[in-house]
Structure 1
Amino acid sequence: MLNYIVRLALVGLVVYMIPDVLSQIQVSSLTSAIIVAFVMSLLNTFVKPILTILSLPITILTLGLFYFVVTVAIVYICDALVGGFKVDGFLQPLIFSFILSIVNSLVGSFQE
């Protein structure tokens, strides 16, 4: 549990810093960023697998490229659920999700 809280805090800090790099993503406060990190973890755990299974035929037809649409959809769902978090466009939410994936991998590799 402590590992999850540390990971959540570090990912929240990264979410708070991402608008400095990506102009179409806005986070109003550090609290909103931590909430975004929590909601993204819930969405990636519960909703993303369902969307992936439902979109499997079109993902196969597009040779896996539709999976990027599913990833961006998760970011937009988070945008709809969390106040103080705003996302526009397609490419920058995709980059946002890749950055979060990399940070989660790095933080997870340092913890047991």
Structure 2
Amino acid sequence: MRVLAWVVSNAIAIAVAAWLFDGIYFTGPTSGRPELTEKILPLLVVALIMGVVTAFVKPVMTILSIPFIILTLGLFLFVVNALMLLFVAWIADLVGIGFHVDGFWTAVGGAIVITVVDWVVDGVLGLDD
């Protein structure tokens, strides 16, 4: 049950980022019921991909970038998160899911939004316990 709540939490965070940034989007219909029905499964798959990347790739990237994190007083973590979001978009493209992130700065903004929304949703769902 925890895994399902975790995927839903990631999906909500990605959906909010896609809603706020024009450069983060899913291909397909852009309004109405067709948009919802055709984008819900790709959104959940991207959330699952993001969870796997966050669990396995991000810790390695964080450890390798410790000198930069210390030098920038932690701000380099924004870069790591943005690179993870770009990596998720790249994997989604390889798999054939229409998820796109246009550019590094869009990825930085999206990573910040995803992190904040994920914290809020986890708190509401009680996943922090």
Match of 1:63 among 73, 84, 91: 73
* Per-residue deviation, 1:17: 4.6
Quote the residue 2:31 is aligned against: none
Quote the residue 2:99 is aligned against: 85
Distance change >3 Å, CA 14–CA 105, structure 1 → 2: closer
TM-score (norm 2): 0.73
* Per-residue deviation, 1:95: 2.0
TM-score (norm 1): 0.83
Match of 2:44 among 34, 50, 62: 34
Identical aligned pairs, as a percentage?
A: 28
**Contact between 1:59 and 1:66, CA under 8 Å: does it hold in 2?**
yes
5+ residue gaps in structure 1? none
Tell me the amino acid that sits aligned with residue 42 of structure 2: S
5+ residue gaps in structure 2? 28-38
**Contact between 2:10 and 2:51, CA under 8 Å: does it hold in 1?**
no
Quote the residue 2:21 is aligned against: 22
Tell me the amino acid that sits aligned with residue 11 of structure 2: G
| SS in structure 2 at match of 1:23 | coil
Over residues 32-78 of structure 1, what are the superposed CA-to-partner deviations in whole Å (9 max), with x where a residue is unaligned? Answer: 11111111111111111110111111222233222221111101110
Let me know the Cα RMSD of the aligned residues: 1.9
Tell me the amino acid that sits aligned with residue 93 of structure 1: A
Tell me, in whole angstroms, the C-alpha distance in 2 between the residues paired with 1:10 and 1:52.
22
Tell me, in whole angstroms, the C-alpha distance in 1 between the residues paired with 2:112 and 2:13.
12
Tell me, in whole angstroms, the C-alpha distance in 1 between the residues paired with 2:47 and 2:112.
13
Moved more, 9-18 or 28-37: 9-18
